[in-house]
Chain A
Amino acid sequence: MTEVVHPTAVVAVSVASRNPALALLRAVARHRLAAFGLVIIAALIIIAIFAPVLAPYNPFQQDLYRVLAPPSRIHLLGTDNLGRDLLSRLIYGTRVSLFVGIVSSLVSAVIGVFVGLVAGFRGGMVDAIIMRITDAFLCFPPLIFILAMSAVLGPGLQNVMLSFALFGWTIFARLARGQVLQVRELPFIEAARSVGVPATRIMFRHILPNIMAPLLVAITITVGFAILLESGVSFLGLGVQPPTASWGKELRIGFTYLEAAPLFSIAPGVMISLAVISFNFVGDGLRDALDPRLRGANRVPR
């Protein structure tokens, strides 16, 4: 028997869905934690850019008469074991952390997305091999991988970033490949192929835009992760080299003087944590805002 021939009623039309960018911004802003994260990240970026202006002292300037001084009016956070102003070193450390975090993440993303697209699109043997290689890299815990690479390549920031990219691409490769697999089977892709649209065109025109959202989430969270890793590596002594200031390195020094100058151990850690938490909050907020499944939890029955 036939059914009543009428189009489905539109339930819960969202006004904001007419402008997706606006909807996104609203959703993220509504997510209080993410808003907090955004503010912190903005502040950190400003600090990094305007470090020379904001830092009260030259971070390399030693004052051997005031070694390990407690906080005072001249040195707001005290000084380190060589008399350098801790506050200034932390401010300059922001540059290091943000730089390492963002660059590492972006480079990993570029490599990873490319590999993932190829794997997803070609399929078959190519895909299988790339996937096994990805899995192999994933067998190494990131920190351990970077540590090993540091031992082999030598310490220093560049090597940290290089090492990060060497395994970081796996995250993005998996992501991109997953997206390709999902989109590849969609009817309009089949239609495009049957008409003769070349694969690369399909990849860039149709698949890439679909990836943007989860990609953005992944990049954000990866920045936080990279900052965490860099601080860990520096803490162990293998990251930045003296006299450059890095939060992780300051923490390392601080730890040795834990009882004498506890603030030394607290302040850098706060910076690291704030930065990483902020990127995680924002990434989380983005993911919640962009995840259609979670929005489905508010489904209205007909």
Chain B
Amino acid sequence: MGKYIGIRLGHALVILAIVVVLVFIIARIIPGDAIMAAMAGSVDLHDPSVVERVRHQYGLDQSIPVQFVVWLAAFLRGDWGTSIGTGQKVLDMFVQRLPVTLELFLGANLWAIAIGIPAGILGAVKRNSAADVAVTAGAIIGVSIPAFWEAILLIYLFAVLLPIFPPSGYVPFSENPLLNLRAMVLPTFVLGTHAGGLIARYVRSSLLEVLGQDYVRTARAKGFSEAAVVARHALKPGMIPVVTVFGLFWGGLLAGAFLVEVVFAIPGLGRMSVDAIFQKDYAVMQAMLIVVSLNVLLVNLLVDILYGYLDPRVRVRG
């Protein structure tokens, strides 16, 4: 098991290095002097001496590898730059908005699991029945409908037509828990249904494959009832591959959060990032890219390790 974790960790570190380089290329090299223009604000770029000064001020006259090291060092120190849009320190902005997005995520995951897993099990156990077709179709539809459209529809139905939930806005939990939860119902539901659809399909197909295995037949031959066969012998091997789904849809959840936060006007990390992209606020963008990709990387690493823990065969193969 140790060897297994070691290999995974090694991979993750290499990937992290590549990611960091990629972010640097995307957010620094490609925009090039545009950064300078953005960062310098209202500076006269036609004056060569000014250009020279600003370039030097932001270290853009150094060679690229040097810039990279400087940039990386600053990042690791916690100096993520200053936002053009808000004037705040980028790191502070992140810290401020993190709890909001975290709550959104938590809620979404709860919905996803609560809907997805039972639906998937139902579809597998009652294969090809009306319920199964409904589950399969529902899952595909859940994944196909654009998250932002689903959000708009739900807002129209439950906030405009029937004013049950607020159409937008956010109230911190510490201020007013009830209002907070009310405001979060629709956003978390929208995010959750997407992940839920994916989970349902994975659970169903995984369970179906398991149910066709010989060892399930052996379990029946021992005299277990059908329910016991599913619960004792099909669920565990069936759910193990589902763990990997979390790694898959995590990225999707992050992207979905962007859209949902914009539509529902929730002051989280997603909305901040979209604003930054519009304003060409490169400092925020860079930080966002690193945080996001690091997050995905970590989640996938954890999923891999968890998978190794659950499925004894994987540990041997590494």
Contacts and interface: CB of A to CB of B under 8 A. Distances in A.
Does B bind A?
yes
Q: Which 7 A-B pairs have the closest CB atoms?
A: A269-B149, A143-B255, A136-B18, A141-B251, A139-B293, A141-B255, A276-B144
A251 interface: yes
A109 interface: no
Given A140-B19, A143-B259, 10 more contacts: A33-B133, A135-B11, A135-B15, A139-B15, A139-B292, A140-B296, A144-B288, A231-B146, A265-B149, A280-B144
A147 B156 CA distance: 27
Nearest to B248: A138
A33 B26 contact: no
B254 interface: yes
A153 B277 CA distance: 11
Given A133-B18, A141-B251, A148 B277 contact: yes
Given A135-B11, A151-B277, A152-B27, A142 B251 contact: yes
A258 B293 contact: no
B241 interface: no
B253 to A, nearest CB: 8
Interface of B: 11, 14-15, 18-19, 22, 26-27, 30-31, 133, 136-137, 140-141, 143-149, 152-153, 155-156, 160, 208-209, 212, 251-252, 254-255, 258-259, 262-263, 273-274, 277-278, 280, 285, 288-289, 292-294, 296-297, 300
Contacts of B147: 232
* Secondary structure call for the A interface: helix
A280 B136 CA distance: 11
Given A136-B15, A147-B258, A141 B292 contact: yes
Contacts of A236: 258-259, 262, 274
A281 B137 CA distance: 8
Interface of A: 33, 132-133, 135-144, 147-153, 224, 228, 231-232, 235-238, 248, 251, 254-255, 258-259, 262, 265-266, 268-269, 272-273, 276-277, 280-281, 284, 293-294, 296-297, 299
A132 B292 contact: no
Given A140-B289, A235-B146, A258-B155, A152 B31 contact: yes
Contacts of A272: 145-146, 149
Contacts of B160: 258-259, 262
A141 B259 contact: no
A33 B19 CA distance: 39
A136 B292 CA distance: 12
Contacts of A281: 140
10 contacts: A33-B136, A139-B300, A144-B288, A150-B277, A152-B30, A232-B255, A235-B146, A259-B160, A269-B145, A297-B212
B251 to A, nearest CB: 4
Given A140-B293, A272-B146, A147 B274 contact: yes
B42 to A, nearest CB: 20
Given A140-B251, A143-B259, A297-B208, A148 B274 contact: no
Given A258-B156, A259-B160, A144 B292 contact: yes
Most B CB within 10 A of own CB, among A141, A232, A236, A266: A141
A138 B296 CA distance: 9
Contacts of A265: 149, 152-153, 156
Given A147-B274, A273-B144, A273-B149, A255 B18 contact: no
Contacts of A258: 152, 155-156, 160
B289 A296 contact: no
A296 B274 contact: no
Contacts of A273: 141, 144-146, 149
Contact of B26 (A135, A148, A268): A148
A269 B146 contact: yes
Given A235-B146, A297-B212, A148 B259 contact: no
Nearest to A262: B156
Nearest to B217: A301
B22 A266 contact: no
A277 B144 contact: yes
A240 to B, nearest CB: 15
Given A133-B18, A251-B149, A139 B143 contact: no
Given A152-B30, A258-B156, A273-B149, A142 B255 contact: yes
Contact of A139 (B149, B208, B209, B296): B296
